[in-house]
A and B are shown apart, each in its own frame.
Chain A
Amino acid sequence: MKWFDYAVPQSLAETTHLLSTHPRARPLAGGTDLLVQLRSGAKVTGLVVDVKYVPELNDLSYAPTRGLTLGAAVPCCRIRSDQAVRQAYPALGEVASLLGGTQIQNRASIGGNLCNAAPSADSAPLLIVLRATCRLAGPVGTREIPVEDFCTGPGQSALQSGELLVSFHLPPPPSHFGACYLRFTPRNEMDIAVAGAGAGVELENGTFRSARIALSAVAPTPLFVREAGNWLAGKPANAESINTAAEIAKAAAKPITDMRGTAEYRRHLCAVLTRRALEAAVRRAKEARA
């Protein structure tokens, strides 16, 4: 690891100033990806900007009318133990319990998981099906983008030079809504997804009012399979519909063969996981309050 400078800004303005004046600066939240990458030489930087002391990045607040604001640096341990999250977005609490082990969850953030922009990011499919948006701040102001537009390639994101992910906004869950993210790993914990599927469904009188499906680890970015959810809208919430949607998701996947699995195996997993995630989401939606 090469020497680098370290800065601890206290405000958003200070942070964006540092990031925009040092082209190779890297923001650090939990550091669970960045420090490993710096040690291995996969990333090199002259300045690490610790964003954990910026108030906007530590915001975790929920209101039934407004939804959830989730600061990009909020560690998973805070998310998974937050009462409002557990009630309104139980699947989000589950994902926060899925990233790494307990020690990692004490440091790692959902914001960091997304900014690392790995195709296998476990939080991405769930945020997509929860209709999350990202608030980005840069030297020229802030902007909002849908979370499905954030990752643009392996390790690549929509962040412009000097720009920073500040927070996510999740709309309040509609009535009879359920969501679930499932990943497949050979090991039960401490592993990277071979494939993952997130499903979010809104039910109305035994049919899908709306549905969203997204996949991980089967394309250069987390993959929003818009057509699978669109197809489900208006269909009865039964096994046949679910199986068809799972096949649509499978067809949309563009996996590669690597040490975690072959392309064929991954495509197969897409159908299995999408079906299982949809089944779990439907169960949740049926149990959800009106």
Chain B
Amino acid sequence: MKTDDYVVVGTRPIRHDGADKVTGRALFGADLQLSGLLDGYVLRSPHAHARIRRIDVSKALAFPGVKAVVTAADLPQCPDRLVDYGEGPMRLRHLRGNILAGDKVLYKGHAVAAVAATSRHVAEEAAGLIEVDYEILPCTLTVVEAMREGAPLLHDDLRTVEFGEETGSVSNVAEHFRHVLGNADQGFAEADVIVEREFHTVTVHQGYLEPQAATALWNNDGRVHIWCSIQGAFWARDAISLILGLPPSRVKVTPMEVGGAFGGKIRVYVEPVAALLSKKAGRPVRIVMPRRDVFEATGPTPGSYTTVKMGARTDGRITAAQAYMAYEAGAYPGAMVGFGAICVFAPYDIPNVVIDGFDVVVNKPSTAPYRAPGATQAAFAAESVVDELAERLGIDPIEFRLKNAAKEGTRRADGPKYPRIGCLEVLEAMKTHPHYTAPLGGPNRGRGVAVGFWFNFTFPASCTISVNADGTVGLIEGSTDLSGTRTSIAMQAAEVLGICAGDVNPTVADTDSIGYTGVTAGSHTTFDSGWAAYEAARDVIRQMKERAALLWGLDPTSIEFAGGAFRAGERALTFKELCARMDETGGPIIGRATVKPASTGGSFAGNIVDVEVDPETGKVSILRITSVQDAGKAIHPGCVEGQMQGGAAQGVGWALNEEYFMGPEGTMLNSSLLDYRTPTSADLPMIETLIVEVPNPDHPFGVRGVGEAPIVAPPAAVANAINRAVGVRLQRLPMNPPAVMEAIWKKKG
């Protein structure tokens, strides 16, 4: 299909979920009402690191209104093994251990026991009666501390894997890997200028507004039904079945509408606990996380310690780059530092690279993905150094990036050679955007730029389309809709069927009602589920050609479908007309497709940011921010712009104020939305967007995933803007007012 021919793709129809969302009728995680429903409450560890000597639940069980109490003893006991429900291999004991702590608690907020009762308040009060005897252990809270010789060990059986092989040494370092391209020493020897800097970022949270919420019913026939706010129903089903020791077919997950997720609702937390409580109580149980627990006991994103060294010649070519990246995994291995290593130098064609990555456990909640997991920390470091190199060489920062930009055929240090990518096009669009040359208009103002990359995942996806006699279709898919993907998937079917988007009625189904579909994450949904919808629609057209052939007494191969009509010579029937004759030509029509694409198209994004720094308080105001991104082909440009704006807003929050403010004993002191300080609308200007379209040759419509790349560059762009405003380079996030003030004082001496 040629771009110019699209009728539906590239337009901005009203979202199918729009009316329900704006009128408050949409049903989110906590909205399910079932008869006999009990409320659950999870008792959590007050200590960051402790051995559990004994748990006595007798007083809680005796409390009026309490129907069940569970602890880790209620989880199936079986030998540990490696399991993988999609996210990659992990230890079953780690997967279960994060649901209910076994012999040790590893972070403040770690679930220890849970109560189901006739009301949430009764459950909470009863949970307070559970007696837990803790032996408090010393804790380690940052990656730098945790890597030190003699640091308190979280797991006495965690053997470091170095360069792919288990070393036998027990430490908090789960893995050390290295990527090498060319010869870095030689590359640095060729450089005229070398910049080497150290960067720190702290734990931040995705900050979705809807807390985790799940309702579970363990039925008398042994089947478990769970309704929850989750990014992927099938991943949740498979994780829950592993945790509960059930075959996946005995677990059914119905995804509710999701009030924000950003990677934080891939994993399950309260779902298996609600199921265990339901099994004991014989009634459905709902658990809704309080906000404090959302901060303390779900999966924030890793804090990090990174050093980046880069060298360049006076002609502006980068000759070598080196990164040392140590990320905090939280309580269990999995810091996503590997993703950071893929992205750290991804926008550049650098001949000599060496990257060392360390996955390190610390006494904080087990980290989870957050939009382009690992990439934002990496880009903050690398894009700050790139900016400083450009400054030292006296080259315009976009020009410097253009001179070194990765393109088709560039080899990335982690291995792959790029297919067609849009890095150059994004940089060119930034350079020519009117924002880049607009006057700053005042003192203490500065403009910064940065670019970022996210490689995007691909997962299997399924779709069925049922044809209605009135010329509309029902579309069933398995991707939880986080950002309007129902519509962008429906639009791809509509384009094939020659009908408008509003004539496709999309539904996100439960795990019993649609084929396996991967999690809504990795920016894959519009790419994969959209592709499945495209194929299912083609299946419908193929069958309808047979119906037209039957009506006209022709061979199906002689029927053409174009411009919304089936034709053979002079004869023509529109899609709608043929739908009306479905019954007389053989009955209902269902199109179906499953896809499992092998490759995906990575996406580049960049930001131009203007800031003003109050030199007396250190406060940074964002005056103007522009997001530029390669979307491949924007199916619904409005939804793409929403992703770009959302990524920029979260990136600015990460840059300026968001942080887990930890007390020395490992207690998060700001576990409320008041003190955690995500930006509000009062802190951001309207975020300008510019969509660049370099079609992905590996997708029928040229789609590249867009959900993650837009968060990667903003913190670096803000840091670079602060430097141009007041001449200080901040190498630690967040760049909050005290930190900026400190840097200004230091500069003044």
A interface with B by C-beta (< 8 Å)? 1-3, 40, 184, 186-192, 194, 258-262, 265, 268-269, 272
Residue on B nearest A195 in the bound complex, by CB? B617
Q: List 27 A-B contacts (CB under 8 A).
A: A1-B124, A2-B121, A3-B121, A184-B737, A186-B619, A186-B656, A186-B737, A187-B677, A187-B679, A188-B680, A188-B682, A189-B682, A189-B683, A190-B674, A191-B674, A191-B677, A194-B737, A259-B661, A259-B669, A259-B670, A260-B675, A261-B737, A261-B738, A265-B737, A265-B742, A268-B741, A272-B616
Residue on A nearest B124 in the bound complex, by CB? A1
Quick one: which of B669-711 are within 8 Å of A by CB?
Answer: 669-670, 674-675, 677, 679-680, 682-683
Least Cβ–Cβ distance between B678 and chain A, in angstroms: 9
Q: How many angstroms from the CA of A75 to the CA of B742 in the assembled complex?
A: 39
Decide if A272 touches B617 in the complex (CB within 8 Å): yes
Contacts of B683 in A (CB 8 A): 187-189
Interface size class of B (residues with CB under 8 A): 20 to 34
In terms of DSSP, what is the predominant structure of the interface of chain A?
loop
Least Cβ–Cβ distance between A260 and chain B, in angstroms: 8
Contacts of A189 in B (CB 8 A): 680, 682-683
Contacts of B125 in A (CB 8 A): 2
Least Cβ–Cβ distance between A83 and chain B, in angstroms: 26
* New A-B contacts (7) at CB < 8 Å, excluding given A265-B741, A268-B741: A2-B125, A184-B619, A189-B682, A190-B680, A259-B670, A260-B675, A272-B616
Identify which of A187, A191, A192, A268 gathers the most chain B CB atoms within 10 Å of its CB.
A187
Q: How many angstroms from the CA of A194 to the CA of B656 in the assembled complex?
A: 16
Q: How many angstroms from the CA of A259 to the CA of B670 in the assembled complex?
A: 8
B657 on the A face (CB < 8 A): yes
Residue on A nearest B742 in the bound complex, by CB? A265
In terms of DSSP, what is the predominant structure of the interface of chain B?
helix
Quick one: which of B636-674 are within 8 Å of A by CB?
Answer: 656-657, 661, 669-670, 674
B interface with A by C-beta (< 8 Å)? 121, 124-125, 292, 616-617, 619, 656-657, 661, 669-670, 674-675, 677, 679-680, 682-683, 736-738, 741-742
In the complex, the 6 A-B pairs of residues with the closest C-beta atoms, listed nearest first: A188-B682, A259-B661, A189-B682, A265-B738, A272-B616, A259-B669
Q: How many angstroms from the CA of A2 to the CA of B63 in the assembled complex?
A: 14
Contacts of A259 in B (CB 8 A): 661, 669-670, 675
Contacts of B680 in A (CB 8 A): 187-190
Decide if B121 touches A187 in the complex (CB within 8 Å): no
Contacts of B661 in A (CB 8 A): 259
Contact of B738 among A187, A190, A262 (CB under 8 A): A262
Q: How many angstroms from the CA of A189 to the CA of B742 in the assembled complex?
A: 23
Q: How many angstroms from the CA of A187 to the CA of B661 in the assembled complex?
A: 16
Decide if B657 touches A186 in the complex (CB within 8 Å): yes
Least Cβ–Cβ distance between A218 and chain B, in angstroms: 14
Q: How many angstroms from the CA of A184 to the CA of B661 in the assembled complex?
A: 19
Residue on B nearest A260 in the bound complex, by CB? B675
Decide if A184 touches B738 in the complex (CB within 8 Å): no
Least Cβ–Cβ distance between B530 and chain A, in angstroms: 37
Least Cβ–Cβ distance between B553 and chain A, in angstroms: 68
Contacts of A190 in B (CB 8 A): 674, 680, 682
Q: How many angstroms from the CA of A268 to the CA of B744 in the assembled complex?
A: 13
Q: How many angstroms from the CA of A40 to the CA of B124 in the assembled complex?
A: 11
Q: How many angstroms from the CA of A261 to the CA of B739 in the assembled complex?
A: 10
Q: How many angstroms from the CA of A20 to the CA of B657 in the assembled complex?
A: 44
Contacts of B742 in A (CB 8 A): 265
Identify which of A186, A189, A191, A259 gathers the most chain B CB atoms within 10 Å of its CB.
A186
Decide if A269 touches B617 in the complex (CB within 8 Å): yes
Residue on A nearest B739 in the bound complex, by CB? A265
Contacts of B682 in A (CB 8 A): 187-190
Least Cβ–Cβ distance between A245 and chain B, in angstroms: 16
Contacts of A258 in B (CB 8 A): 669
Q: How many angstroms from the CA of A117 to the CA of B617 in the assembled complex?
A: 26
Residue on A nearest B621 in the bound complex, by CB? A188
Residue on A nearest B122 in the bound complex, by CB? A3
Residue on B nearest A272 in the bound complex, by CB? B616
Least Cβ–Cβ distance between A54 and chain B, in angstroms: 28
Q: How many angstroms from the CA of A184 to the CA of B741 in the assembled complex?
A: 13
Contacts of B669 in A (CB 8 A): 258-259
Identify which of A192, A259, A262 gathers the most chain B CB atoms within 10 Å of its CB.
A259
Q: How many angstroms from the CA of A33 to the CA of B570 in the assembled complex?
A: 76
Least Cβ–Cβ distance between A268 and chain B, in angstroms: 7
Least Cβ–Cβ distance between B620 and chain A, in angstroms: 9
Decide if B677 touches A186 in the complex (CB within 8 Å): yes
Contacts of B657 in A (CB 8 A): 186-187
Residue on A nearest B678 in the bound complex, by CB? A187
Contact of B736 among A186, A192, A269 (CB under 8 A): A186
Contacts of B619 in A (CB 8 A): 184, 186
Contacts of A269 in B (CB 8 A): 617
Least Cβ–Cβ distance between B733 and chain A, in angstroms: 14
Q: How many angstroms from the CA of A258 to the CA of B675 in the assembled complex?
A: 12
Q: How many angstroms from the CA of A242 to the CA of B663 in the assembled complex?
A: 38
Least Cβ–Cβ distance between A72 and chain B, in angstroms: 23
Residue on A nearest B292 in the bound complex, by CB? A40
Residue on A nearest B128 in the bound complex, by CB? A41
Contacts of B675 in A (CB 8 A): 192, 259-260
Q: How many angstroms from the CA of A269 to the CA of B657 in the assembled complex?
A: 18
Decide if A1 touches B741 in the complex (CB within 8 Å): no
Contacts of A272 in B (CB 8 A): 616-617
Contacts of B737 in A (CB 8 A): 184, 186, 194, 261, 265
Residue on B nearest A262 in the bound complex, by CB? B738
Q: How many angstroms from the CA of A262 to the CA of B661 in the assembled complex?
A: 13
Q: How many angstroms from the CA of A258 to the CA of B617 in the assembled complex?
A: 17
Contacts of A40 in B (CB 8 A): 292
Contact A1/B121 with A187-B682, A265-B741 known, Cβ cut-off 8 Å: yes
Least Cβ–Cβ distance between B301 and chain A, in angstroms: 19
Least Cβ–Cβ distance between A219 and chain B, in angstroms: 19
Contacts of A268 in B (CB 8 A): 741
Least Cβ–Cβ distance between B613 and chain A, in angstroms: 13
Least Cβ–Cβ distance between A113 and chain B, in angstroms: 15
Contacts of A192 in B (CB 8 A): 674-675
Least Cβ–Cβ distance between A165 and chain B, in angstroms: 24
Least Cβ–Cβ distance between B114 and chain A, in angstroms: 18
Q: How many angstroms from the CA of A259 to the CA of B292 in the assembled complex?
A: 16
Contacts of A191 in B (CB 8 A): 674, 677
Identify which of B121, B657, B737, B742 gathers the most chain A CB atoms within 10 Å of its CB.
B737
Q: How many angstroms from the CA of A153 to the CA of B742 in the assembled complex?
A: 30
Contacts of B738 in A (CB 8 A): 261-262, 265
Decide if A184 touches B617 in the complex (CB within 8 Å): yes
Least Cβ–Cβ distance between A253 and chain B, in angstroms: 15
Residue on A nearest B121 in the bound complex, by CB? A1
Q: How many angstroms from the CA of A194 to the CA of B617 in the assembled complex?
A: 11
Q: How many angstroms from the CA of A262 to the CA of B741 in the assembled complex?
A: 11
Residue on A nearest B741 in the bound complex, by CB? A265
Residue on A nearest B120 in the bound complex, by CB? A1
Contacts of A188 in B (CB 8 A): 680, 682-683
Least Cβ–Cβ distance between A221 and chain B, in angstroms: 21
Q: How many angstroms from the CA of A260 to the CA of B677 in the assembled complex?
A: 11
Q: How many angstroms from the CA of A190 to the CA of B679 in the assembled complex?
A: 10
Contacts of A265 in B (CB 8 A): 737-738, 741-742
Residue on B nearest A39 in the bound complex, by CB? B290
Least Cβ–Cβ distance between A182 and chain B, in angstroms: 11
Q: How many angstroms from the CA of A186 to the CA of B679 in the assembled complex?
A: 10
Q: How many angstroms from the CA of A190 to the CA of B124 in the assembled complex?
A: 28
Contacts of A3 in B (CB 8 A): 121
Q: How many angstroms from the CA of A187 to the CA of B674 in the assembled complex?
A: 10
Least Cβ–Cβ distance between B716 and chain A, in angstroms: 20
Contacts of B736 in A (CB 8 A): 186
Least Cβ–Cβ distance between B745 and chain A, in angstroms: 9
Least Cβ–Cβ distance between A279 and chain B, in angstroms: 12
Q: How many angstroms from the CA of A279 to the CA of B239 in the assembled complex?
A: 61
Least Cβ–Cβ distance between A185 and chain B, in angstroms: 9
Q: How many angstroms from the CA of A191 to the CA of B675 in the assembled complex?
A: 7
Identify which of B292, B617, B674 gathers the most chain A CB atoms within 10 Å of its CB.
B617
Q: How many angstroms from the CA of A272 to the CA of B124 in the assembled complex?
A: 46
